[in-house]
Amino acid sequence: MTMFRRTAALAVSITLLMGGAIALAPAASAAGSSACTYNLTDFTGTADGDGINFRAGPGTGYTVKGRLYDGDRLRVSCGKGRWYYSKLAKRSKGGLAKGTTGWIRSDMLYQLAG
């Protein structure tokens, strides 16, 4: 019986430790400006196309926060690879609120000016 209790206690401890580690690890959808590898001194960009994914992180594996449409304006602050971290300058045509932050692929912008 004592061996059973020790084994059960060990199993519970391992489960709690693993669960705690999983709970503390950031989700793929939680990537913000800390994921940037270079800065762009606060540029303005304009979306080039309709239905562009505005993502939670720099890659297609991150969740989509909403869609951007031709002419939606963004303030781009930094980037990682071909992705720019940005903030909406005003409410998007897709309904995202002004100030919403997210990631857009660099080739989805047709204007980038300081």
Distance of CA 86 to the CA centre of its chain: 10
Q: What is the pLDDT of residues 41-76, one digit of tens each?
A: 778 999 999 999 999 999 999 999 999 999 999 999
Residue 102 forms part of a structural domain: yes
Any domain includes 100: yes
pLDDT in tens, 83-93: 999 999 999 99
Query: Could you tell me if residue 26 is inside a domain?
Result: no
Q: For tokens 């080039």, what's the residue?
A: 48
Measuring CA to CA, which residue among 84, 92, 80 is closest to residue 108? 84
For the record, the structure tokens of 85 come out as: 């971290």
Quote the pTM value: 0.71
Token pair belonging to 109? 């912008």
Tokens, residue 1: 């019986």
Q: What is the CATH number of the domain that holds 42?
A: 2.30.30.40
d(CA 25, CA 18): 11
Q: How many domains does the chain have?
A: 1
Is 48 domain-assigned? yes
